[in-house]
Amino acid sequence: METIIVTGGAGYIGSHTIIELLNKTIFQIVSIDNFSNSSPDSYSRISALTTRPFETIQVDLCDHVLLNQKLSYYSNIIGIIHFAAFKSVSDSISDPIKYYHNNINSLNNILDFAKQQNVLNFIFSSSCSVYGNSKDLPVTENSPLQKAESPYGHTKQISEEIISFFCKTNPSFKTVLLRYFNPVGAHPSGKNGEFPINIPNNLVPIITQTAIGKNSLTVFGNDYNTRDGSCIRDYIHVCDIADAHLKALNYLIQHHEKKQCSLFNLGTGNGVSVLEAIKSFEKITNQKLHYKIGERRTGDVIAIYANNELAKTELNWIPQYNIDDMMLSAWKWENHLEEQNTK
């Protein structure tokens, strides 16, 4: 059976993508995760939303020897989707070495495995953080990359370069780099969503946790040069991101790709400020959210949103969800977690 390896498959975007792969393709799916920011419960949630079994491997991708040993049981691997990475901008500023070590070594090891086993199709989770504080809004894939604002963003810039050089020396290897903007929201069922083991520092989980009484929201800065003073981001529903991976896989496997190393922005194209995101949440849940205004956060870019025309035309990918849908699904998920806790 043709096999797809998904690294970071127990994580937020990985788990939503596995749900789509199991429901919409016939590939055997093998998830690799070390649960550094997730838990095996994620696999139970995937199983509850799908009807096919999938395989799981618990291994740290930085452990080269063990990784190769555990993967040696699988043959006919036709593609790798590499999600596994640390992803917190603020953590990366506090502990840069941890980010360079994990994000770069895991990529090197999985690329080395691909080379040894002749796996030819590779999809990589990049980020809009590679653009830094771009003056070119909306950013296109050709916008010049500015200096990264955080070690996290820098690891994504370095990773893109590693993959690009790897492609040059391995001409049959084909890759799609997906630059996610800000993935948020949850599965429409409300039964899978972001479940970080470490304290979340992304906006949407903090909004929903604040509304349910488990956290308190501070808006990081209201004195930026933006329409309401708060930072602007391009929030994109996690299921739209998952869908883009299926389209990227098809693009590679069906040989529709025009370049050996293709690059796509995954955003809606709409910039939404932090205060507008809060208003959307208040509107769809019909409640007032209590928050305070705080200092700017180190490492934040001021404003970024995507030109997504290339993904639309080349991958045939059209985002389906707007900011209200994203907030509603995230709220449904937060309530689901609360129900589980009180059972």
Tell which one of 182, 265, 268, 329 touches ligand UD1 (CB under 6 A).
182
Helices (H), 28-186: 41-48, 64-71, 89-94, 96-99, 105-117, 151-169
Residue 77 near ligand UD1 by CB under 6 A: no
One of 152, 224, 235, 305 is an active-site residue; which one? 152
Nearer to ligand UD1, 88 or 280 (CB): 88
Contact region for ligand UD1 (CB under 6 A) — 23-31, 102-110, 216-224, 254-262? 216-224
Residue 306 near ligand UD1 by CB under 6 A: no
Tell which one of 183, 190, 267, 271 touches ligand UD1 (CB under 6 A).
183
Contact region for ligand UD1 (CB under 6 A) — 40-48, 69-77, 198-206, 307-315? 198-206
Name the residue number minimizing CB distance to ligand UD1. Answer: 231
Residue 311, C-beta contacts closer than 8 angstroms, at least 6 positions apart: 244, 264, 265, 266, 317
Give the pair of three-digit tokens for residue 270.
């709409």
Contact region for ligand UD1 (CB under 6 A) — 97-105, 199-207, 312-320, 328-336? 199-207
Tell which one of 206, 266, 272, 306 touches ligand UD1 (CB under 6 A).
206
Nearer to ligand UD1, 174 or 233 (CB): 233
DSSP 3-state percent helix, strand, coil across the chain (nearest 5): 40, 20, 40
Tell which one of 27, 86, 195, 220 touches ligand UD1 (CB under 6 A).
220
Give the pair of three-digit tokens for residue 185.
């929201």
Give Cα 187 distance to the centre of its chain: 14
Residue 170 burial (10 A CB sphere; 0-12, 13-18, 19+): middle
Q: Which residues of 193-211 are buried (b: 16+ CB within 10 A; e: fewer)?
A: bbbbeeebebbbbbbbbbb
Residue 224 annotated as catalytic: no
Contact region for ligand UD1 (CB under 6 A) — 83-91, 92-100, 161-169, 188-196? 83-91
Omega cis (within 30) before 196: no
Residue 218 near ligand UD1 by CB under 6 A: yes
CA distance 215 to 18: 30
Cite the beta strand spans of 211-324 per DSSP E: 217-220, 232-233, 235-237, 261-266, 272-273, 291-294
> Bridge partners of 82?
7, 124
Task: Scan residues 108-167 and list those touching ligand UD1 (CB under 6 A).
Answer: 127-129, 153
Closest CA to 80 of 176, 182, 194, 207: 176
Nearer to ligand UD1, 201 or 335 (CB): 201
Residue ranges binding ligand UD1 (CB under 6 A): 87-89, 127-129, 153, 180-183, 201-203, 206, 217-220, 231, 233, 274, 297, 300-301, 304
- Residues catalogued as catalytic: 152
